[in-house]
């Protein structure tokens, strides 16, 4: 390892051949070719061939292949070929499904890839962290995940947590000073930062020394196992269910094998039939269809600006019963404009200041100097302050140059203050701005015109009244104060006291237009919306009332109240509390926990570095795509690309819809399989000839198990999902009513299949024609049944054209089935008899009857 820590800034710039302007784009491109992208190598990709071959590892498929080969040897070569072809096509479909699902999971990963601010061609740019190369100069700040290893060349109260690398959970202060040593443990390299650590405070400028697999994290990455679960709870429970079902079906098929033997069918044919029935009846596609529907759903969600990081969360989305949302930027527009200023004992409009007065001049100066934004980039609260000052011809560029920052204590949402130190024409001034409740108790004097005097109870009362008045109109209030120090120094938290009060600034941040409607939808859907904000109680309540979150009689709690309560007390309060104000991140964890202990599935938003624990604790942690820190995005399970509350509601709607669609796919698969089994059982017990040939069963399996089931999974949301209460996460997917429905629908279809068999069998006892009719009716009835399974409403309610995929799936199945029935050259391969027009019409009618009955029942039960 190179000792970058013992090199001076110049040496290191020289070593990496970079100037103060950063790398040029061309040079960076050269370096990316040389060093590769800044990413940790992912697990080796499984080749498509392996995926394809793994489709055959199913025990039953192997038996089927063996049986069909034996049957070919004994002379029945045609049906063997068909069976093999069908199995191969099935495997190809399975492979495609697998690849598609993997691809969409990968593209989700790309969507949530982290960004880094980097200096290129002399300009500060935000790039995907993958594009960072050695020699780049990057900017890190509180809330960032460090994407590379690098040498700190400038730092401002920079505190970094390296626990993922060293196990040390205390933050480590990083400075740019050279360390003279030959060898140092990672934890002691205080002028180096390492990939995978997180910036918990302050900011810094870093020269990148290594990227990707060359970083310290990269070196141990091979040792780290990705513990992220790939299967979702639903998949696990479906797999368990599938296993039990398979055992049941295999036992049943064993029984049918014996019965066939008893009826004098030869061993090989009986075996083939029993195995083909098992293959057709076991819904082996279940788990992969769930993955596909979830994956397609997450892609749809990402188009709606909700980026889901793992499939598991989509399921949980449908169960969400509480949404705890930040106010600023999520429920409101985060477009701040200063509207009122309180100074010299008077309330002024934003245009009514007089910069010739000392107090007002100081307010405008503080607006620019105690501020990290420019008039375009930065925190909207701070941009609004710069815009205010610029109205009075204060140029932020000039002022920042003239009175540079000597020292600073950055803003954090626990302290709710920010301080900076400047030398203003010989006076060493410490500016502090922040929340009134944090700043007023630290104030000892007040500035009034040219006079500075001790602050008294009357002043305090007046200031508090003005603050409430501003807040009642929904204004967000900032307090301004300053103090004079004896000399330039590094300021610390202990200096944040003994202030002179200057004034209050009130800014509006209008609610987002869509917030109100989204809140209404939440309430309709049985979901409780809750506002959790760092802002003032009255401001929060006013905005909450405006958008419908707060209703008369609701509780409003402050962080301080939460602090005083025991977990028990908090649990009793949460249900009635719709607004939490002046909340710190640690209160958020308690609020989530309280809701969870009431059995609710809780979604919680967060953007700051300290929000990560609460985001992890919530069932659905939601980070902000635009304003959120990388740490919060890392901890979250969902990222809002547009920071918008209404997107959460959209995501929940889609989540519920996806779950409903999965349920419908399952209903489709199982009811169709039930029909096949019931028909076979009936035929066996009634002593009829074999009702389906093995190839029939496999053909039906091929036509109906994939396309129509996926088409049902793509059903667009009908909005009806919002009328229900949130789903109980413990509720099994196969509820009693769903099971009854599956059995009932299976029974109706089986009845029509058996009738079809008898028509074909007729007085001539034509077994081939009988089984042809039975096969055709079952196949077509299942294809029709696809339309029944699209939702609860009748087809008129759902609209025949509203899900084109189901039409396409039906069309393909219909054409293939009719091809098999009508093309005489295929007859011997598929073991079907030639049929007349009347037979075909009869098949269509019989196959349509179950759908007719089911649609009429739906119409009666659900209306349109
Ligand atoms: P939410 O949690 O809904 O996003 P918020 O953004 O209002 O709420 P914080 O950013 O934690 O919450 O702000 C809390 C308080 O801190 C504000 O009411 C304001 O008084 C003060 N404040 C906010 N931004 C700054 C800043 N840049 N400098 C100084 N004080 C600030």
Which pLDDT tens digit goes with each residue over 149-161?
Answer: 999 999 888 989 8
- The answer, yes or no, to whether residue 42 has pLDDT greater than 70, is no
Residues 131/174, Cβ–Cβ less than 8 Å: no
Q: What is the pLDDT of residues 523-538, one digit of tens each?
A: 999 999 999 998 999 9
Average pLDDT over residues 420-434: 96
Quick one: pLDDT at residue 222?
57
Q: From residue 18, how far is each of 136, 154, 203, 394 by CA, in Å?
A: 8, 16, 21, 35
- The answer, yes or no, to whether residue 107 has pLDDT greater than 70, is no
Quick one: pLDDT at residue 260?
87
Backbone angles phi, psi at 73, to 5 degrees: -60, -35
Quick one: pLDDT at residue 44?
58
696: region left, alpha or beta (phi > 0 left; psi from -120 to 50 alpha): alpha
Give the predicted TM-score (pTM) of the model: 0.79
The radius of gyration computed from the CA coordinates of the chain, to the nearest angstrom, equals 34
Torsion of CA 229, 233, 238, 243, to 10 degrees: 60
> Tokens in use for 842?
């009869």
pLDDT exceeding 90 applies to what percent of the chain?
53
Confidence of residue 721 (pLDDT cuts 50, 70, 90): confident
Catalytic position from the list 269, 326, 611, 839: 326
Average pLDDT over residues 113-127: 87
What string of DSSP letters covers 237-287?
HHHHHHHHHHHHHHHHHHHHHHHHHHTT--HHHHHHHHHHHHHHHS-TTHH
- The answer, yes or no, to whether residue 694 has pLDDT greater than 70, is yes
Average pLDDT over residues 377-387: 89
- Give the start-to-end residue ranges of the domains of the chain: 233-305+651-862, 313-333+512-647, 337-508
> Tokens in use for 249?
């079906």
Q: From residue 44, how far is each of 113, 222, 555 by CA, in Å?
A: 20, 11, 54
Decide: 411 in ligand 1 pocket, CB within 6 A: yes
> Tokens in use for 574?
């949460």
Q: Does the annotation count 326 as an active-site position?
A: yes
Q: How far is 591 from 589, CA to CA, in rounded Å? A: 5
658 Cα to the center of ligand 1, angstroms: 37
Q: Into which CATH architecture does domain 233-305+651-862 fall?
A: Up-down Bundle (1.20)
> What is the average pLDDT score of the chain?
88
More confident residue, 844 or 128: 844
Evaluate whether 313-333+512-647 and 337-508 have a shared fold: no
- The answer, yes or no, to whether residue 178 has pLDDT greater than 80, is yes
Confidence of residue 560 (pLDDT cuts 50, 70, 90): very high
- The answer, yes or no, to whether residue 225 has pLDDT greater than 50, is no
More confident residue, 288 or 527: 527
- The answer, yes or no, to whether residue 46 has pLDDT greater than 80, is no
Domain 313-333+512-647 has CATH 3.40.50.1000: yes
**How many angstroms from the chain centroid is the CA of residue 226?**
19
Quick one: pLDDT at residue 188?
85
Decide: 611 in ligand 1 pocket, CB within 6 A: no
**How many angstroms from the chain centroid is the CA of residue 156?**
34
Q: Which CATH superfamily is domain 337-508 in?
A: Calcium-transporting ATPase, cytoplasmic domain N (3.40.1110.10)
Decide: 534 in ligand 1 pocket, CB within 6 A: yes
Q: What is the pLDDT of residues 348-361, one digit of tens each?
A: 999 999 999 999 99
- The answer, yes or no, to whether residue 843 has pLDDT greater than 80, is yes
Quick one: pLDDT at residue 300?
84
**330, 333, 384, 416, best to mutate for ligand 1 pocket (most atoms within 8 Å of CB):** 416
Quick one: pLDDT at residue 226?
42
Confidence of residue 799 (pLDDT cuts 50, 70, 90): confident
- The answer, yes or no, to whether residue 317 has pLDDT greater than 60, is yes
Decide: 533 in ligand 1 pocket, CB within 6 A: yes
Q: From residue 202, how far is each of 140, 167, 179 by CA, in Å?
A: 9, 21, 21
Q: How far is 48 from 109, CA to CA, in rounded Å? A: 20
β 528-532/320-325 pair status: parallel
Residues 789/852, Cβ–Cβ less than 8 Å: no
Q: From residue 289, how far is each of 669, 714, 733 by CA, in Å?
A: 10, 11, 15
Residue (of 710, 680, 685) closest to 775 by Cα position? 680
Q: From residue 260, how far is each of 255, 273, 680, 684 by CA, in Å?
A: 9, 9, 11, 7
Quick one: pLDDT at residue 229?
43
Backbone angles phi, psi at 608, to 5 degrees: -85, 170
Q: How far is 105 from 29, CA to CA, in rounded Å? A: 28
Decide: 509 in ligand 1 pocket, CB within 6 A: no
Q: Is 485 helix (H, G, I), strand (E, B) or coil?
A: strand
Residues 640/624, Cβ–Cβ less than 8 Å: yes
Average pLDDT over residues 134-160: 91
- The answer, yes or no, to whether residue 337 has pLDDT greater than 70, is yes
Report the nearest-CA residue for atom 25 of ligand 1. 434
Residues 830/699, Cβ–Cβ less than 8 Å: yes
Quick one: pLDDT at residue 216?
84
> Tokens in use for 260?
């066939």
β 476-485/528-532 pair status: unpaired
Average pLDDT over residues 331-360: 94
Backbone angles phi, psi at 753, to 5 degrees: -65, -45
- The answer, yes or no, to whether residue 282 has pLDDT greater than 70, is yes
């Amino acid at each position: 390892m190179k000792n970058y820590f013992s090199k001076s800034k110049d040496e290191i710039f020289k070593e990496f051949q970079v100037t103060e302007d950063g790398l040029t784009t061309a040079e960076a491109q050269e370096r990316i070719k040389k060093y590769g992208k800044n990413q940790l190598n992912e697990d080796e990709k499984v080749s498509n061939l392996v995926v394809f071959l793994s489709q055959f590892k199913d025990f039953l498929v192997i038996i089927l292949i063996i049986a069909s080969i034996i049957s070919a040897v004994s002379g029945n070569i045609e049906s063997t070929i068909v069976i093999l072809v069908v199995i191969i096509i099935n495997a190809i479909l399975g492979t495609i499904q697998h690849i598609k699902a993997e691809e969409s999971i990968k593209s989700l990963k790309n969507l949530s890839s982290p960004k880094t601010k980097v200096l290129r061609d002399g300009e500060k740019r935000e790039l995907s962290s993958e594009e960072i190369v050695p020699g780049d100069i990057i900017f890190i700040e509180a809330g960032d995940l460090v994407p590379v290893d690098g040498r700190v060349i400038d730092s401002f109260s920079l505190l970094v947590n390296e626990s993922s690398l060293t196990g040390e959970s205390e933050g480590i202060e990083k400075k740019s000073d050279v360390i003279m040593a030959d060898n140092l443990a990672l934890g002691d390299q205080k002028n180096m930062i390492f990939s995978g650590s997180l910036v918990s405070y302050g900011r810094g400028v870093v020269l990148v020394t290594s990227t990707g697999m060359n970083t310290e994290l990269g070196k141990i990455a091979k040792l780290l196992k990705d513990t992220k679960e790939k299967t979702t709870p639903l998949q696990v429970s479906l797999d368990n269910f599938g296993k039990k079902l398979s055992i049941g079906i295999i036992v049943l098929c064993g029984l049918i094998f014996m019965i066939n033997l008893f009826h004098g069918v030869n061993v090989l044919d009986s075996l083939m039939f029993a195995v083909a029935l098992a293959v057709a009846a076991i819904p082996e596609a279940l788990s992969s269809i769930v993955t596909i529907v979830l994956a397609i759903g997450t892609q749809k969600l990402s188009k709606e600006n909700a980026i889901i990081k793992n499939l598991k969360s989509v399921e949980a989305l449908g169960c969400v019963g509480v949404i705890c949302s930040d106010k600023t930027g999520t429920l409101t527009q985060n477009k701040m404009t200063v509207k009122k200023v309180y100074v010299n004992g008077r309330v002024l409009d934003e245009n009514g200041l007089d910069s010739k007065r000392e107090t007002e001049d100081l307010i405008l100066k503080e607006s620019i100097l105690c501020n990290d934004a420019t008039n375009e980039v930065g925190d909207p609260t701070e941009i609004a302050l710069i815009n205010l000052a610029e109205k009075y011809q204060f140029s932020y560029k000039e002022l920042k140059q003239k009175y540079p920052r000597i020292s600073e204590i950055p803003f954090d949402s626990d302290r709710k203050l920010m301080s900076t130190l400047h030398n203003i024409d010989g006076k060493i001034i410490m500016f502090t701005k922040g929340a009134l409740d944090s700043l007023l108790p630290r104030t000892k004097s007040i500035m009034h015109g040219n006079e500075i005097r001790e602050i008294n109870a009357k002043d305090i009362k007046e200031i508090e009244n003005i603050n409430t008045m501003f807040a009642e109109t929904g204004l967000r209030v900032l307090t301004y104060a300053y103090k004079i120090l004896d000399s330039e120094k590094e300021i610390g938290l202990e200096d944040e006291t003994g202030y002179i009060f200057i004034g209050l600034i009130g800014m509006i941040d209008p609610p987002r237009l869509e917030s109100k409607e989204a809140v209404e939808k939440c309430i309709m859907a049985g979901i409780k919306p809750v506002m959790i904000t760092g802002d003032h109680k009255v401001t929060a309540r006013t905005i909450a009332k405006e958008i419908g979150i707060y209703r008369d009689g609701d509780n409003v709690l402050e962080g301080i109240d939460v602090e005083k309560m025991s977990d028990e007390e908090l649990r009793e309060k949460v249900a009635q509390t719709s607004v939490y104000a002046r909340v710190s991140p640690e209160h958020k964890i308690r609020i989530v926990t309280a809701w969870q202990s009431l059995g609710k599935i809780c979604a919680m938003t967060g953007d700051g570095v300290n929000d990560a624990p609460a985001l992890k604790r919530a069932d659905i942690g939601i980070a902000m795509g635009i304003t959120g820190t990388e740490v919060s995005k890392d901890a979250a399970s969902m990222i809002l690309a547009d920071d918008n509350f209404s997107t959460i509601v959209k995501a929940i709607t889609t989540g519920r819809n996806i779950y409903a669609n999965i349920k419908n796919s399952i209903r489709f698969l199982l009811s169709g399989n039930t029909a096949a089994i019931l028909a076979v059982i009936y035929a066996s017990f009634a002593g009829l000839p074999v009702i389906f040939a093995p190839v029939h069963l496999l053909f039906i399996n091929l036509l109906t198990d994939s396309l129509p089931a996926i088409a049902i999974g793509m059903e667009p949301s009908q909005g009806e999902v919002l009328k229900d209460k949130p789903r109980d996460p413990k509720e099994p997917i196969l509820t009693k009513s769903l099971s009854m429905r599956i059995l009932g629908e299976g029974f109706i279809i089986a009845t029509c299949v058996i009738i079809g068999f008898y028509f074909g069998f007729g007085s001539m006892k034509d077994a081939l024609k009988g089984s042809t009719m039975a096969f055709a009716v079952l196949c077509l009835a299942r294809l029709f049944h696809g339309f029944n399974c699209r939702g609860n409403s009748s087809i008129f309610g759902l609209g025949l054209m509203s899900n084109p995929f189901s039409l396409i799936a039906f069309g393909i199945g219909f054409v293939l089935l009719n091809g098999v029935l009508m093309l005489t050259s295929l007859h011997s391969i598929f073991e079907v008899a030639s049929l007349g027009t009347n037979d075909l019409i009869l098949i269509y009618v019989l196959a349509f009857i179950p759908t007719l009955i089911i649609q009429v029942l739906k119409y009666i039960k659900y209306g349109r």
